[in-house]
Structure 1
Amino acid sequence: MQNSSAVTAIAPAPSEAALAHFEASMRFETDCSDVHDALVVKGQRDFVLLDVRSPALFAAGHVPGAINLPHGKIIASKLAQYAPETIFVTYCAGPHCNGATRGAIRLAKLGRPVKIMIGGVTGWLDEGFALATAAEARPQAPGAIRPLATSPAHE
């Protein structure tokens, strides 16, 4: 009798349980490739991408189309211009950073739909995607964030 590997020592979940688990996880996260495809390739702006790092890190390089709102500054008044159903996607430096999770928690506490972009800036660069810099960022009023979507709910 052959010994099991670490991979097969515990049997996989039944297909129905696996489907429920993986579909549920997609309700909480998206990845860099999906964000790139939506924003850069297809120009779909049906969510607001928040870079929750510091303004200095944002200025040094961020995902194109992202808005800088550090996780500690996510409050109701900064989100007032967005319809309640606006979907927010947070990201930070990468897998070693919990800023995206902290930002997602704050958004969820404010009753906002939210997902995390897994991988953050590290994942974005690993995919071979370019970062934008402060010189390329759209001007914003101090303390304000602007909707990315062009639907009537975001105008």
Structure 2
Amino acid sequence: MSYVTEVPAADSVTALAHFSALLEFETDCWDVHEALNNGKQDFVLLDVRSASLYAQGHISGAIHLPHGKIVPAKLTDYPDGTVFVTYCAGPYCNGAIRGAIRLAQLGRPVKTMPGGITGWLDEGFTLETLASME
């Protein structure tokens, strides 16, 4: 017996509930890319990293709002019910989760994009820099 099967897998009903629930909290780079490029963006994409990292490269169309600066005054332009998607550097960065916590504390619907910049680049998508926007 391996460490993988030492603890039995969940039954199908439990697994279905668990994996279905994950999609309430997370989205992936591919789905975000598709929405941004097919006119189906029904969310606000937040880059919650530092200003210097945002300047070095971010997803085109992302709003820069570091997780520590997510406060009610920064959200006044977004009606209640606006869905936010947070991302940071990648799967080993917890900035997206920190941002999601702050948004949830403010009563805002939110998902994270766990792959972040790393996942975005792994999918073959490009980044925009502040220099390229000038």
Whether TM-score is above 0.5 comes out as yes
Q: TM-score range by the shorter chain?
A: over 0.9
Alpha-carbon offset, residue 127 of structure 1:
1.0
Aligned positions, number: 134
Determine if the alignment matches structure 1 residue 128 to structure 2 residue 124.
Answer: yes
Q: How does 1:3-152 map to 2 (within 5 A)?
A: 4-40=1-37, 42-137=38-133
**Residue equivalent to 1:145:** none
Partner amino acid for 2:124?
G
Structure 1 gaps, min length 5: 139-155
Partner amino acid for 1:49?
L
Secondary structure of 2:36 counterpart: helix
Alpha-carbon offset, residue 136 of structure 1:
4.2
Give the RMSD, CA atoms, in angstroms. 1.4
Partner amino acid for 1:103?
G
Task: Name which one, 1 or 2, has greater alpha-carbon Rg.
Answer: 1
Structure 2 gaps, min length 5: none
The Cα offsets for residues 109-142 of structure 1, whole Å up to 9 and x where unpaired, read as 000000000111011111111001113449xxxx
Partner amino acid for 1:45?
Q
Regions of 4+ moved over 3 Å: 135-138
Larger proportion of helix: 2
The Cα offsets for residues 75-103 of structure 1, whole Å up to 9 and x where unpaired, read as 00110111110000000011221111111
Alpha-carbon offset, residue 5 of structure 1:
2.7
Partners of 2:61 and 2:88 in 1: CA distance = 14
Alpha-carbon offset, residue 14 of structure 1:
1.0
Partners of 1:85 and 1:22 in 2: CA distance = 24
Secondary structure of 1:118 counterpart: coil
Partner amino acid for 2:131?
A
Change (3 A) 1:137 1:15: farther
